[in-house]
Amino acid sequence: MTVTRYDTPKNINEVVFPIEEVEVASWTPERDGKGKCTQVHMILKARGAEHPMVVRFKSPVTLQNLIDSLIEHRDYVFGKKP
C-alpha cells in the first residue's frame, strides 16, 4: 500500500463515496476470533452502499505511513496540536 501525500490542497467537487461511519478493528484469521491478530482493518460504511469497504493493513509500516499522513494533514488544516 502506498500513501500519497499531496503538497497542494485538492478540491473534490463531488463526493462519490459519502462515508457515514468509520470503524477500526484488529483482525484474526481464526473463525472464533480468539487467535493471534495479524491485521488492522479500517471499515468504511458509505451511505447507500450494500457492503462496507474494508482497508486491510498487513504490516506496521503501511499503517504507520497512513497515520503519519493523517497527522500531517490534520496539522496543516487544523493547526498543530499541543
Dump the DSSP string for 25-51: EEE-SSTTS-S---EEEEEEEETT-SS
pLDDT for the residue 3: 62
Per-residue pLDDT, averaged over 13-34, amounts to 88
As a whole number of angstroms, the distance between CA 55 and CA 23 comes to: 10
Tally helices (H) and strands (E) across the chain.
1, 3
Give 77's DSSP letter.
H
pLDDT for 35 beyond 80: yes
> Whole-prediction pTM value?
0.74
**What is residue 18's predicted lDDT score, i.e. its pLDDT?**
84
